[in-house]
Amino acid sequence: MEARGDDAARTLAFAGRIDIAAAARLWTPTMRAARGTQGLTIDLAGVEEVDTAGAVLLLSAAGAAHQGALQGASPAVEKVLDRTGAALKAAPPAPPPPRMNPIAGLGEMVVDVGRNMLGAVAFGGEALVTLLRTLFRPGLLRFSEMLRHLDETGLRAFPLTALLGFLIGVILAYQSAIPLRRFGAEVFVPNLVGISLLRELGPLLAGVVLSGRTGSAFAAELGTMTVNEEVDALKIMGIDPMQMLVLPRMLAATLVMPVLALLMSLAGLAGMTVIMATLGFPWAAVSNQLQQWLAVGDLLGGLFKAAIFGIAIAAIGCRAGLSAGRGPRAVGDAATTAVVGGIVSIVVLDGIFAVLFFRLGI
Amino acid sequence: MNAPAAEPRAAPPADAEAVVRARDVAMRFGSRTLFEKVSFDVRRGEIFVILGGSGCGKSTLLKILIGLYPPVAGTVEVLGENIDDAEGDARRGLLARLGVMWQSGALFGSMTLAENIELALEEHTDLPRPAREALARVKLGLVGLGDAATRLPAEISGGMAKRAGIARAMALDPPILFLDEPSAGLDPITSAGLDALIIDLARSTGTTFVVVTHELQSILAIGDRCIMLDKEAKGMIAEGDPRQLREHSDHPVVRAFFRREVMHG
């Protein structure tokens, strides 16, 4: 590319082949020379061939000047320029996205949250109605489907739950033994760890495991079915997706959660016992402390909470899947919603239970 | 988009240079032979159609031609290079000279249509951002989607997704475009519009098209030459001008295909 003249009248002469690589090389100097020029002539007499990128360069340069003209193009080059010019005219630059008014944005967010909460209430009501209908007509329950989910959400989660529980027990025992040792009260470590695990940490951590493993799986599976229109197909076949897809999952999660919480607690107690043994306390001492200080109510309260956590996690996962949007991100978004929603919900529920149990003296 | 009606066009000369050369290509999955001894040339500037019934291996052959699957036997040369032997920068350079439109469109769902096109330009060229944006607009304008640049793939129809797929395939002005079932699942009007677009692009840009399809109307409307694969024969059973094959082929499967007859036995 050769430039002649000044800002009032300038000629840019091109020669050879202007392909995509040449266009990339020439873009900056050409646009710099073209911008602000009053009368720009682009001489194409020496140009043998241009591709679309070359044509975009030449047309953009002509457009950047106050008055730009292309001249001397061969018929073949002219053809590419005409075609590219027509395509550019047919695709005007997109207008910049509208700036979001912060108040409108806040309003939209509030409406979204409100709509989401209403949807959650409606979903819960629908699930309850389906459950009641199934109680009166047990034949409606797809038992084999529920067994499959029991296996996937329960049995297959056992190794992970046991491992996490054991490690949590080890960590809790060590961490509580350090300050208690200062008062010579290490013997109370089993009391602290036992009550923490049975009442709080067992159900809570089992809930986190279920939310991460199962809530996300429910959301992904049902989200894929929604995106693939399988859920619509079920509705058109006269099959209630709540009955076929949601209820077996919710029942499975509700049944399996107390078992996982119990496993988590027992594994934690085992971990604590190992640490106590290393600190010089035999099994008999640990067992004695546990029997003295732990009540059956602690265990049952924890298992009851776990069952409620199971309902919440499964409901949130299923709802996230069934309300998945369109497109490839929909399933990922549904899984994220399920995990985040599941964990937040169990922490909120746990807080409510803490107050409730305190008031009831449990 | 005001696409011209699809009509047969003059085929490029028979002595035009071959840009794709397949020789004795065979493909097997496990012990099942899909096809073998498939040989043909695709000439520069022509619209070459790979046709055949469902399950005969058309799309697999396309994937062999673009180097996605290695054939179990035979060779494929694209633009003079053996696509399976090409490695590293040579392979990257060769792939930049091919454009592929996938059966499902395969547009990246998190990007707008314009960004889908700009991605290839960003990866393979040093064009500055304004140039990439303008070029993406040109490509979308060429396929009649000038007003859809900022839309996401989830917001457009199936026909628009196919056209956007072609626009993305053309991002780098490749000399060869491979299209996998461009008309599948489209209504006859959209399908005819797409055929007209392919013919228009082939005429105006001189691009070579290799099209996999079993849509009879499309084959007859756009194809300069074709090969036909057959599941039973496990290979090619015909090669030539599709209109000639429809009128003059003696092969029972070819006749049945073009005349939409039911095969018995």
How far is the C-alpha of B140 from the C-alpha of B166, rounded, in Å?
9
Determine whether the interchain pair A23/B131 forms a contact, defined as Cβ–Cβ distance below 8 Å: yes
**Which chain B residues are within 8 Å of A51, Cβ to Cβ?**
173
Q: What is the pLDDT of residues A94-123, one digit of tens each?
A: 777 778 788 988 999 999 999 988 998 999
Which residues 223-252 of chain B have a CB within 8 Å of chain A?
none
Token pair listed for B92: 């990257």
Question: What was the pLDDT predicted at A305?
Answer: 94
Q: What is the pLDDT of residues B74-127, one digit of tens each?
A: 999 999 999 888 888 888 888 888 999 988 788 888 889 999 999 989 888 899
pLDDT at B1 over 50: no
Question: What was the pLDDT predicted at B10?
Answer: 60
Give the count of beta carbons closer than 10 Å to the beta carbon of residue A9. Answer: 13
Q: What is the pLDDT of residues A318-329, one digit of tens each?
A: 999 999 887 667
Three-state DSSP state, B81: strand
pLDDT band at B250 (very low <50, low <70, confident <90, very high): confident
Q: Where are the extended beta strands (E) located within A253-309?
A: none
What are the Cα distances from residue B116, in Å, to A272, B152, B178?
Answer: 56, 9, 18
DSSP A38-64: SEEEEEEEEEEEE-HHHHHHHHHHHHH
pLDDT at A88 over 60: yes
Three-state DSSP state, A239: coil
Determine whether the interchain pair A27/B125 forms a contact, defined as Cβ–Cβ distance below 8 Å: no
Q: What is the pLDDT of residues B38-75, one digit of tens each?
A: 999 999 999 999 998 888 999 999 999 998 889 999 99
Interchain CB contacts (distance < 8 Å): A and B: 87
> Residues A214, A312: contact at Cβ < 8 Å?
no
Q: Which of B135, B146, B153 sits opposite A52 (nearest CB)?
A: B135
How far is the C-alpha of A27 from the C-alpha of A354, rounded, in Å?
67
pLDDT at B236 over 90: yes
Question: What was the pLDDT predicted at B240?
Answer: 92
How far is the C-alpha of A274 from the C-alpha of A292, rounded, in Å?
20
Most confident of A68-77, A137-146, A164-173, A186-195: A164-173
Inform me whether the C-beta atom of residue B2 falls under 8 Å from chain A C-beta atoms. Answer: no
How far is the C-alpha of B184 from the C-alpha of A91, rounded, in Å?
27
Question: What was the pLDDT predicted at B4?
Answer: 43
How far is the C-alpha of B204 from the C-alpha of A79, rounded, in Å?
8
Q: What is the mean pLDDT of residues A337-360?
A: 93
Determine whether the interchain pair B110/A328 forms a contact, defined as Cβ–Cβ distance below 8 Å: yes
> Residues B146, B140: contact at Cβ < 8 Å?
yes
How far is the C-alpha of A43 from the C-alpha of A39, rounded, in Å?
13
Determine whether the interchain pair B131/A53 forms a contact, defined as Cβ–Cβ distance below 8 Å: yes
What are the Cα distances from residue A258, in Å, to A71, A254, B239?
Answer: 82, 8, 68
Q: Which of B110, B127, B150 sits opposite A27 (nearest CB)?
A: B127
pLDDT band at B6 (very low <50, low <70, confident <90, very high): very low
> What is the value of ipTM here, to two decimals?
0.78
pLDDT at B35 over 50: yes
**Which chain B residues are within 8 Å of A56, Cβ to Cβ?**
131, 134-135, 138
Q: What is the mean pLDDT of residues A150-176?
A: 94
> Residues A18, A26: contact at Cβ < 8 Å?
yes
How far is the C-alpha of A80 from the C-alpha of A44, rounded, in Å?
13
